[in-house]
Amino acid sequence: MSIVEERKIPRWKLDEVSELEEKLKNSSTIMIADIQGFPTDKLHEIRKKLRGIAEIKVTKNTLFTIAAKRAGIDLSKIEGYITGSNAFIFSNDNPFVISIFLSKFKLKRFPVPGDKADEEVVIPAGDTGMTAGPILSTFGKLKVQTKVQDGKVHVVKDTLIAKPGDPIPAEAAPILQKLGIMPVYVKLRLKAAYHQGLLIPVSELEINLDTYRSMINEAFRNSLFLGVEIAYPVPEVLKLTLSKAHMRALALAGEAGFLTPDTASAVLSRAVSKAYAVLSAISGKVDLGVEVPKQPEQ
């Protein structure tokens, strides 16, 4: 960039580059989000929510690139993402923390034609506040039962007009607007994070907490089973080991038919359950006048 050209650059651009450079230098995490078609008011909402955790800035790719270069960012890692309309997030937090944070709050909007519902769209029963008129036929098309009371449209009962994933009927839009129903989610589309020289693409950035819950569950279950198996000497685990040993003993007594007063219940029950199993296997053909016990509902 020549000095001559730089002189032509408006002051605000120079200021913005300096500001960006400063942010880049002071942030361990930089995230790039696609804001093509993203509603500006929603971006404000996000900015408010992120306050104290991260800063979000919309700027031109060229300015960001210059600033990044000046801040010593390895551009080769991120330049592939700096296309289209972007917002840049600056933070000193773990990029996954930001990603989870962003995924946690649902931003909603009114539908536009062609939108699919992200949640159930229900027209609630009651006064819609809408004046009876041509709108009645729209309700009719949506198969929403209405009646007119004091000149206003009343919906007779809660009516589902779209399930999650269903396209939202275009004619419903004005009604939803009027009723304040926003069944479409707006999500900031993260593209990548740059964190301490590492590039984390969105595929890794998106965290499914349920997966982690089930991993913990599995790890714990594994540990518990192993603990029980080796009689890990802490009371909570030994209780389970004792139970297991005892159940094994009862099962063995039952299967072997080794009957003593303390195994009698197990042995007789086992024999009876076998008898009932046989009985039920032939119950369609033979009536022995004995009821096969029904399995209780779980």
Q: Which of residues 202-261 bind other proteins (CB under 8 A)?
A: 204, 207, 209-210, 212-235, 237-261
Hey, which residues does 147 pair with through a beta bridge?
154
38/81 with CB nearer other proteins? 81
For CA atoms 98, 101, 105, 106, the dihedral sign is positive
The answer to whether 111 contacts other proteins (rule: CB under 8 A) is no
Determine contact, residues 193/99, Cβ cutoff 8 Å. yes
Residues 117-146 that bind other proteins (CB under 8 A): none
**What is the radius of gyration, based on Cα positions, of the chain?**
33
Pattern of binders to other proteins over 154-193, x per CB under 8 A? ----------------------------------------
Interface with other proteins (CB under 8 A), residue from 18, 26, 83, 94: 94
84/225 with CB nearer other proteins? 225
Please report, to the nearest 10 degrees, the dihedral formed by the alpha carbons of residues 37, 39, 43, 45 taken in order: -150
Distance of CA 194 to the CA centre of its chain: 23
Nearest distance from C-beta of residue 205 to other proteins, angstroms: 8
Q: Are strands 86-91 and 146-149 parallel, antiparallel or unpaired?
A: unpaired
Nearest distance from C-beta of residue 31 to other proteins, angstroms: 13
CA proximity to 199, closest of 97, 84, 80: 80
Q: How far apart are CA 287 and CA 103, in angstroms?
A: 62
Q: How far apart are CA 88 and CA 95, in angstroms?
A: 13
160/256 with CB nearer other proteins? 256
Pattern of binders to other proteins over 266-285, x per CB under 8 A? xxxxxxxxxxxxxxxxx-xx
The answer to whether 105 contacts other proteins (rule: CB under 8 A) is no
Residues 55-84 that bind other proteins (CB under 8 A): none
* The one segment of 17-25, 36-44, 99-107, 141-149 that binds other proteins by CB under 8 A: 99-107
Query: Could you tell me how many residues of this chain bind other proteins (CB under 8 A)?
Result: 96
Determine contact, residues 34/191, Cβ cutoff 8 Å. yes
